[in-house]
Structure 1
């Protein structure tokens, strides 16, 4: 089986932790079945204010990363203040990536897009052009925070109609997307994000019984939308001066 993954973002290196779960999911497919062929398309669009040492014309970079065939392109966004035009550039470059990938690796059996904007929109174009079944998984908290505009929703519903299945990563999020896109109930199905086996390799509980702590742990990308500041305030309010209870925060970010 041949799976092509089209995300909106993808880690640029092993040390890059942003959306690393997409890379981990792709690599886990190979662990599940070594006979799978898995590819990734990653189009990078930089605005002219971050332009540094980038070729004027787009070029495709192919790498083999832990068994994955990763195709990347990097191009300049001349329309930073006009998102719709920037999207057109991104999709245009993404379609060139897809054409090159299919020419060199053959037609995939299925496309899996991560994030509707804009991986899902690109994947819908590729799906329609090459007649490949499409699955879209949505992770974006920007819907609930009011960051998704109506023109984006209009494009999103077209991609939804092209997809064989659309997935949200929580039950409440799936129901929310049904309402946001004005779709019948259960149009979006729920499949949670995967969890690495490493989290189940060690028993829960305190290693040292002499230290009778109860520990709350949160691990995330440390940016404002994760609400870690709210968690800290809530923890302080509930467990102030209770030394036997502690909060451990891990992650990287802003």
Structure 2
């Protein structure tokens, strides 16, 4: 079973398990996780607050979307309000974890939940394989260079897919044919998008936009980096990293806003 399925179920503080009340033989829940309460007791706002510490980007719209995609089925009150059980919250957490950590599309996650409901072992798709050691993702250290073969081994990417990403400029090799260590994360994200029909060539604009933003950041931190002492160069590097995170956050929020406008 996947690591997400084995995690401790959510409680009030995210770590305590709320056991389901005693049921008769015919009242046992048939959906996973069976050992957690299936009694609807939480509003959608309560579930959002429960998940926010672990998934800061989750929104009410996302919870409603997961319901539309049949990953969770909260009950409705007579007035039409959604009411969630602890088991519902666990299924949502499982889906969000699989999206975040393994970049799985909802179709695959829905199939995995169906397997869990039936008591079957969940086997991750081979094309979404992520290599890990002792439960931790194996990824190159900052500043490391990796070969095409290493990227394929770490991500499950095929050589043909990697070549397409290189042709699109998503990853760029040096003169020795080796790639920056961060290319592993780039390839993982590009693979996830490809499973939704978005090819590498459609992502060229993302790379171009990132390079323009990097140029702007470089102009901001250049005076600090130009100082001769090592401490100043370290401050410049830290400032550049912080600015990159802020740019990424702004881009994510603008993209979400644009998607919301699609209706």
What TM-score do you get using the length of structure 2 for normalisation? 0.23
Larger radius of gyration: 2
* Structure with higher strand content: 1
Q: Point out which structure has higher relative CO (alpha carbons under 8 A, 6+ apart).
A: 1
The TM-score, its normalising length taken from structure 1, stands at 0.23
